[in-house]
Chain A
């Protein structure tokens, strides 16, 4: 029981049930990217409004499992108001949190994703939205995948 709860934290279940900024089309959205994991079927499109190097609004659409949906939802909450440089730094921190490839540092609420590391088959679910964000920020037109 304790094991599974470390993956399916209450915050994750809540963000899966009620994803934030979901189906929200930001006004003046000027950056978009599409992420798709073909083996899973998880897919998300992320829309950003970037003004003077700051993410003023963000929304996402698509469908996936609880881990990928909650990760996308938590991400949109976290990055709103951040500069591109701050969002890039957060992307690296979350990547480190999930893969243990480096220090994650203090990432606040996103710490709830730490349990995913113990489930290697699910890391790709949690990272999908973040890699899609990275593509949106840097105008990568290719479909993003984490498989």
Chain B
């Protein structure tokens, strides 16, 4: 899905694009900001900020219950955001779009609703060594509750799944395969389409953690043929606190609610409550209305630019940064998969990533230093942490150059 021919892509009008993001235009410690922490969260385009402001200034009301004008407008905006997400993911129905706080909550929802109903003792859940903690811990919790077993597909030193290991571990006891579409710590894009075919042949359902992938790849859930897809709005140039669980309609129909409250019921009495159909069944309480509206605005923005064009732009930056890294003495890239998103995790000999983070910040270069919520990945590469530069649609070669000026600065300081 990420194989984008540069020939087919339209170059982004990068000056105009950068002009759309107010937060990019600032000085940090006397230097122009080079924001390279996009895998943690992306900056927001003006139209997202304005969509949220507009909602609060004009339409703010609770949804799905009022008969007054503001509530009708808020409900229409919220539900059209759901339709917007459906279209972006090419889901077959907006009933399959559940608004949640983020990918973490989406995965927890699947674990606690689908998992507790359909996964039992002696069943197996298959994940990989490159998962973010949010795609490890919910399954460990489920295993503790149900007696199911967690199995882990190992990675190799390039940060790719060990060839053949997935097929070896996939068995008749595998109920669910939960894998990252794209690794946040390594950038690896997994061959999910083939893995889904094999998992389905073995009778297992597949959840894709798309928190990273969705900002870099066009996601078509029907073409992928997965069963669950989790994503976070804030990594997609949308607001924090909003995310999406997409799930096949027939799975959602059969899943029990995981949180009780208003909104998710059809009828309540002290004897018995009848639950609403999806997606309301999974949206107890007043939702993040402004967040959903902001997310829809972000998707409008992304789709207007075109994810294929964004990917081509980011791949150009990744290739340039990778070449520069190779020419930098003492720099080791962690994660060298053949198929990668624009994430450059690295270590610099003799300088701890946290010192790099502070030194880079003094140069106006924002990166992430740490274990990236992927401690098993750090363990595999025998490092306590890495420095990670992650490129988004508004980054330029100037940002990459600023990164490598900061690398030189760190090496000088620690020489």
Q: B265 to nearest A CB, angstroms?
A: 40
- Cα of A69 to Cα of B371 in the assembled complex, Å: 19
Q: Would you list which residues of chain B between 6 and 33 have a CB under 8 Å from chain A?
A: 29
Which residues of chain A are near B353, meaning CB under 8 Å? 65
Q: Which of B29, B355, B378 lies in contact with A66, CB distance below 8 A?
A: B355
The answer to whether A3 and B354 touch (CB under 8 A), given A41-B385, A42-B384, is no
- Cα of A65 to Cα of B351 in the assembled complex, Å: 8
**Does B80 lie at the interface of the complex (its beta carbon under 8 Å from any beta carbon of A)?**
no
- Cα of A121 to Cα of B359 in the assembled complex, Å: 12
Assess whether B362 is in contact with A65, with CB atoms less than 8 Å apart.
Answer: no
Q: Would you list which residues of chain B between 38 and 86 have a CB under 8 Å from chain A?
A: none
**Does A29 lie at the interface of the complex (its beta carbon under 8 Å from any beta carbon of B)?**
no
Which residues of chain A are near B327, meaning CB under 8 Å? none
Assess whether B354 is in contact with A122, with CB atoms less than 8 Å apart.
Answer: yes
Assess whether B355 is in contact with A4, with CB atoms less than 8 Å apart.
Answer: no
Which residues of chain B are near A3, meaning CB under 8 Å? 29, 362
Which residues of chain B are near A43, meaning CB under 8 Å? 384
User: What is the 8 Å Cβ interface bit string for chain B, positions 348-370, against chain A (1 contact, 0 not)?
Assistant: 00111111001100100000001
Task: Using C-beta atoms within 8 Å of the partner chain, give the interface range for chain B.
Answer: 10 to 19
Task: Using C-beta atoms within 8 Å of the partner chain, give the interface range for chain A.
Answer: 20 to 34
Q: Which of B354, B362, B413 lies in contact with A40, CB distance below 8 A?
A: B354
Assess whether B362 is in contact with A4, with CB atoms less than 8 Å apart.
Answer: yes
Q: Which of B350, B358, B385, B414 lies in contact with A119, CB distance below 8 A?
A: B358
Which residues of chain A are near B384, meaning CB under 8 Å? 40-43, 63-64
The answer to whether A65 and B413 touch (CB under 8 A), given A4-B359, A42-B384, is no
The answer to whether A4 and B413 touch (CB under 8 A), given A40-B370, A41-B371, is yes
Which residues of chain B are near A130, meaning CB under 8 Å? none
Which residues of chain A are near B354, meaning CB under 8 Å? 40, 42, 65, 67, 122, 125
Q: Closest residue to B383 on the A side, CB-wise?
A: A41
User: What is the 8 Å Cβ interface bit string for chain A, positions 53-88, against chain B (1 contact, 0 not)?
Assistant: 000000000011111010000000000000000000
- Cα of A3 to Cα of B352 in the assembled complex, Å: 19
Q: Closest residue to A62 on the B side, CB-wise?
A: B384
Q: Which of B351, B352, B378 lies in contact with A64, CB distance below 8 A?
A: B352
Q: Closest residue to B356 on the A side, CB-wise?
A: A65
Assess whether A39 is in contact with B352, with CB atoms less than 8 Å apart.
Answer: no
Closest 10 CB pairs of A and B: A41-B384, A65-B352, A65-B354, A66-B355, A41-B385, A4-B362, A65-B355, A8-B413, A41-B371, A40-B354
B residues whose Cβ falls under 8 Å from a Cβ of A: 29, 350-355, 358-359, 362, 370-371, 378, 384-385, 413-414
